[in-house]
Structure 1
């Protein structure tokens, strides 16, 4: 990926699980492919709409259904990514016996934080 967004290190400086990293990359590639396909679908939908030809307009119905299905897939992929990321952070924080640290330097421990 550009600039190698995933360097293989988490915020504690420990090595992220290679399988988790591979899953992230795979899902982001899938999302990008679907978004590229959506761009093409939207262009075709717009062209059909501008043409005002009956057959083209009726074809838009199936194109819009395909676009909606693709959007659902992207949402599902991002949901999976979010879940995987959360699980990987839980696992990596379990290995850190010193406790988590907030950005202001105070130790968090296992207490639930309220927004300030």
Structure 2
């Protein structure tokens, strides 16, 4: 399987299986974070509905965790987008020498 290419993109472009594995890994990470966020949102809603002061105080930390998770998802999608663009450029240039150990994408910095 290593070194094989996949040409199911419709435009004849070929994608290295290492790239597909990397995409899959990132999508699995994103789904895991989104599942966790669903649980966090449910807990935040329950705490809010309870009106118990301790539960409302706990929501501050839960909301921070939720915001951090959202940032991670944005970063992962940014990495996926950059990686996909690079793979398409390499495909169109006929360059199949993409390194699987290269860092995927560039991080966005917020000001």
TM (norm. structure 2) is 0.76
Match of 2:6 among 5, 8, 18: 8
What residue number does 1:64 align with? 63
What residue number does 1:73 align with? 72
RMSD: 1.7
Greater RCO, CA 8 A, separation 6+ = 2
- In structure 2, runs of 5+ residues without a counterpart are 96-111
Is 1:36–2:35 an aligned residue pair? Answer: yes
Runs of 4 or more above 4 Å deviation: none
Q: Quick one: distance in 2 between partners of 1:58 and 1:52?
A: 10
**3-state DSSP class of the match of 2:15?**
coil
Q: Quick one: distance in 2 between partners of 1:8 and 1:29?
A: 20
Aligned length: 90
**3-state DSSP class of the match of 2:44?**
helix
- In structure 1, runs of 5+ residues without a counterpart are 1-6, 97-116
The alpha carbon displacement at 1:18 in A equals: 1.1
Larger radius of gyration: 1
1:9-31 superposed Cα distances (whole Å, 9 cap, x missing partner): 23442431111100100000000
TM (norm. structure 1) is 0.73
